[in-house]
Amino acid sequence: MAVVGGIIIVLAFFALIAIGSSVRILREYERGVIFRLGRLIAQKGPGLIFLIPFVDRMVKVDLRTVTLNIPPQEVITRDNVPAGVNAVAYFRVIDPRKAIVEVENFLLATSQISQTALRSVLGKAEFDQLLSDRERLNEELQKIIDESTEPWGVKVTAVEIKDVEIPEQMQRAIARQAEAERERRAKIINSEGEYQAAQKLTDAADIISQNPASLQLRYLQTLLEIGSNQNTTVVFPLPMDVLEPFIGRADHAAGGSKAKPPKPGPQPDPPSPVESVPDLPDDLPPSRS
């Protein structure tokens, strides 16, 4: 009886092991690829999965999006600028059967194809495009990598270039270029401001020329602005139009070019060109030689 009891215990133990190996529980984001005697028969999950002990084998596949960090790659751009570029790729398995059957390790394979595509695409671009046109490069990388991983049942959803490392000399050159560009923009903006100011002054001068009274109002306003400042010396700007009547009178009194013309009327006769010499007296002393 003791021998029979021992055999029953051993059989029960192996039965428990067999039952434990035949039952699998898969989460919502997991799928199981079932092989029976080495042959693919089905894809199951999620939930409770029953397998034939020692006959069926299940390979678990995660369907969640995987974040793949692409190691830094030494890239030489089309304009011969060396740079170290690293990126990140986001992908997920959409066909677990292909991901297990078509490729040995889909994670490693996706990483290698991403590194190759990164060097290939960035090597065809110029350095300025690498800095300013990243969106287009990201889309091109995503398209190339996705086409390569499609036979494996892997969908690449996005690829993003993270960092671009360049030599120190190139960094100084870029800084000088950026400084020159800023100076150029500043000069252009300053010139446009001066042009607009000159245009407004021209318009104001045209408006003032149509009505001389506006010039007097502007002059009074200027005097008011000067009087509001506490200065020891005050300079009064006096337009020439205000002094012109006084200058005309002074010049007329002096017989200048701005003298008023004579009034019309009878004019005296002009003097004769040859005048008579008066008679000299007889008792003049003789001249000394």
**Could you read off the pLDDT of 188-205 as tens digits, one per residue?**
999 999 999 998 888 887
Q: What angle do CA 42, 47, 49 make, to 5 degrees?
A: 50
Token pair, residue 219, equals 């002059």
**Which residue intervals of the chain bear CATH 3.30.479.30?**
66-170
Cβ contacts of residue 77 below 8 Å, gap of 6+? 83, 122, 123, 125, 126, 127, 130
Please tell me the least confidently modeled range out of 8-12, 27-31, 95-99, 125-129: 8-12
Specify the higher pLDDT residue, 285 or 14: 14
Q: What is the pLDDT of residue 91?
A: 95
Specify the higher pLDDT residue, 32 or 289: 32
Please tell me the least confidently modeled range out of 17-26, 66-75, 205-214: 205-214
Cβ contacts of residue 11 below 8 Å, gap of 6+? none
Q: Determine the longest span between alpha carbons in the chain, in angstroms.
A: 199
| Fold of the domain built from segment(s) 66-170 | Tetrahydropterin Synthase; Chain A (3.30.479)
The DSSP call for residue 24 is E
Q: What angle do CA 212, 217, 222 make, to 5 degrees?
A: 125
d(CA 54, CA 37): 9
Mean pLDDT over each residue of the chain, to the nearest integer: 80
Token pair, residue 153, equals 């049942």
Beta partners for 21? Answer: none
d(CA 2, CA 15): 20
d(CA 215, CA 223): 12
d(CA 149, CA 284): 140
Q: What is the pLDDT of residue 232?
A: 61
